[in-house]
Amino acid sequence: MPPLLEVDNLHVQFPVRQGMVHAVSGVSLTVHNGETLGLVGESGCGKSTLARSIVQLVPPTAGEIHFDGQTLQGLAPATLRKLRPRLQMIFQDPYASLNPRKTVFDALAEPLRVHAIVPRPEIPAEVGKLMDQVGLARHFSRKFPHEFSGGQRQRIAIARALALRPQMLIADEPVSALDISVQAQILNLLAQLAREKGLAMLLISHDLSVVKHMSNRIAVMYLGRIVELGPATSVMQTPRHPYTQALLRAVPRLTPTTTAEETFLGGDPPSPLHPPAGCPFHPRCPIAMEDCRAESPALLSIGNEHEVACPRWEKSPADGFRH
């Protein structure tokens, strides 16, 4: 079966005063029906820009995006608008993505009306159903966003995305503004929706434990490129790219390890304004060689659907997530 979403060699650049920001540099990925693809990476690696350009909020500089067989770029606005309901996005800060002057009812009724999802007389009943689905009491529908807690607001944002009966959800850091106990509620809700509705999901998070918990496959991004991609268990348990390994090592653990290892990654990620030549990770890489400075390695399969953009992957000891 062809993938629901196919991103092919996507580039996104922003002109700024100091030059050109290379936010996304040649990313290719696929998401199949009903699958959750986790996308991890540190701030500034381009993961949000990638998400935004998939839903055409940011125009890609080069490359192609296909959704359910249709190429998204160059579509007439009217055609794109017809496609939009099927590909919905939720953001990190639910307060910023809800209109403060609209009640929950208005916020949920609007997409139903605009896209004529149900006949007008049925809108109140449909709003009630949506609120049930995300676990909000129906009598909250007359309240305004400021009257809710962060977790409840995220539920409203999810209900709003679901109103259009999408096939795919792009969730950009949906729980990073929430407390642990509330985070668990929202993650459970997203997992349940993905399961029951067969929703495909692109889940973006900087939190490895969240991505590991939720995803079928995981892509790791560094400085605008995917450096490792594969089934969640093999990426987490036998990471092959030195960056993925460093990222996993840096996660604070509940039970301290007995072996005192202080082999943390030094330095900061380089600026996307001036990405280094060759492999983007070479300035911080413990196993970098002369070649790494010259040539940017492509994402190559190492078997078992696991792909790594490091020619020296066999040299670095696989060192997994040890929570």
Partner 1 sequence: MPLLEVEDLRAYFHTRHGVVRAVDGVSFHLEAGETLGIAGESGCGKSVSQYAMLGLMPTPPGRIESGTAHFEGIDLLQCDARTMRKIRGKRISMVFQDPMTALNPYMRVGTQIMEPLLLHERCTRAEAQSRATTLLETLGIQDAEARMAMYPHEFSGGMRQRVLIAMALITKPQMLIADEPTTALDVTVQAQILAHLRNLQQAMNLSVILITHDLGVLSGMCRRILVMYAGRIVESGDTQTVLQAPRHPYTRALLAALPAAHRPGEPLASILGQPPDCIAPFAGCAFAPRCSAARPTCHTTACRLETIAPGHATACLRAQAGEWPGSEEGVRHAASA
Q: Give 120 or 195: the residue with its C-beta nearer to partner 1.
A: 195
Nearer to partner 1, 87 or 194 (CB): 194
| Nearest residue to 112 via CA among 190, 52, 104 | 104
Is the CB of 188 or the CB of 301 nearer to partner 1? 188
Under 8 Å between Cβ of 56 and 81: no
**In this complex, which beta carbon is closest to partner 1, that of residue 24 or of residue 214?**
214
Our measurement of the distance from residue 242's CA atom to the centroid of its chain's CA atoms, rounded to an integer in Å, reads: 21
- Give me Rg for the CA atoms of the chain: 21
User: Among 52, 96, 53, which Cα is nearest to 73's?
Assistant: 53
For partner 1, which stretch binds (CB under 8 A), given 100-108, 122-130, 164-172, 243-251? Answer: 243-251
> In terms of DSSP H, where are the helices of the chain?
47-54, 77-83, 104-114, 123-133, 150-162, 180-197, 208-214, 232-237, 242-250, 290-294
Q: Which one of residues 255, 259, 290, 303 is an interface residue with partner 1 (CB under 8 A)?
A: 255
For residues 26 and 270, which CB has a smaller minimum distance to partner 1 in the complex? 270
Residues of this chain, 273-312, that bind partner 1 according to CB under 8 A:
none
Residue 308's alpha-carbon distances to 188, 214, 237, 244, 320, in angstroms, are 30, 21, 14, 10, 15
Q: Per CB under 8 A, does 136 bind partner 1?
A: no
CB of 188 to partner 1, least distance (A): 5
Nearest to 70 by CA among 203, 180, 168, 205: 168
- Helices 104-114 and 123-133, interaxial angle, to 10°? 120
In the complex, least distance from residue 84 CB atom to partner 1, rounded to whole angstroms: 29
Q: Does 250 bind partner 1 (CB under 8 A)?
A: yes
Q: How far apart are CA 85 and CA 51, in angstroms?
A: 16
- 130 touches partner 1 (CB under 8 A): no
Return the residue of 268, 291, 295, 314 that touches partner 1, per CB under 8 A. 268
Q: Which of 188, 286, 294, 301 binds partner 1 (CB under 8 A)?
A: 188
| Three-class secondary structure of residue 28 per DSSP | strand
In the numeric block, which tokens belong to residue 290? 């002369």
Query: Binder to partner 1 among 93, 95, 213, 311 (CB under 8 A)?
Result: 213
Choosing from 84, 86, 115, 206, the residue that interacts with partner 1 (CB under 8 A) is 206
**Per rule CB under 8 A, count of chain residues that contact partner 1:** 43
β-bridge pairing 36-40 and 62-67 = unpaired
Mark the segment that binds partner 1 (CB under 8 A) among 68-76, 98-106, 179-187, 272-280: 179-187
Does 143 help bind partner 1 (rule: CB under 8 A)?
A: no
Q: Are 280 and 270 in contact (CB under 8 A)?
A: yes
Binding characters for partner 1, 88-127, by CB under 8 A (x = yes): ----------------------------------------
DSSP string of 96-108, one letter each residue: TTS-TTS-HHHHH
43 touches partner 1 by CB under 8 A: yes
Distance CA 174, CA 240 (A): 27
Q: Which of 76, 78, 137, 180 binds partner 1 (CB under 8 A)?
A: 180
Question: Helices 104-114 and 150-162, interaxial angle, to 10°?
Answer: 20
Shortest distance (Å) from residue 127 CB to partner 1:
23
Would you tell me which residues interact with partner 1 (CB under 8 A)?
42-43, 149, 151, 179-185, 187-188, 191-192, 206-210, 212-215, 232-233, 246-247, 249-256, 262, 264-266, 268-269, 323
